[in-house]
Amino acid sequence: MNKNVILPLALAALLLMPSAGFSGQDDRFERLRERAQVRREMRDLARERFRTRADVGHERMRLRSEVRGRVREALRGFHGHDRQAYRDTVRDALRTARRALRDAFRDRW
């Protein structure tokens, strides 16, 4: 009777133990895949933030050159008679451009 019970248990153990070991490995590899996916997502988010910042910088430079061009056009016949007024005009224009950019991109950061 003892041999009749031990033999099937031994065979069952031989068949079931490797599958239990492989299931633990599957869990480990699944965790590794999940971690890799999270890292990929974080990399993508970082790239997107970088692109957004680059776009903001390009837009800022474009607005700056546009403002400078407008100021030059406005002061073309104004050959340095009032330099302080020229500086004030440039400062006001740049301040307005910065404020507009800050308001436009405030929710992106």
Residue, of 64 and 24, whose pLDDT is higher: 64
In a domain, 77, yes or no: yes
Share of the chain above pLDDT 90, in %: 30
In a domain, 11, yes or no: no
- Count up the domains in the chain and report the number: 1
Average pLDDT, the chain: 81
The predicted-structure confidence for 13-49, as pLDDT tens digits, reads as follows 777 666 656 656 667 788 889 999 999 999 999 999 9
In a domain, 96, yes or no: yes
pLDDT recorded at residue 22: 60
CA 102 centroid distance within chain: 19
In a domain, 84, yes or no: yes
pLDDT recorded at residue 91: 92
pLDDT recorded at residue 79: 62
In a domain, 67, yes or no: yes
In a domain, 63, yes or no: yes
The predicted-structure confidence for 78-90, as pLDDT tens digits, reads as follows 665 677 777 888 8
3-state SS string for 32-86: HHHHHHHHHHHHHHHHHHHHHHHHHHHHHHHHHHHHHHHHHHHCCCCCCCCHHHH
In a domain, 39, yes or no: yes
- Residues of the domain holding 69: 19-108
What does the pLDDT average to over 55-79? 85
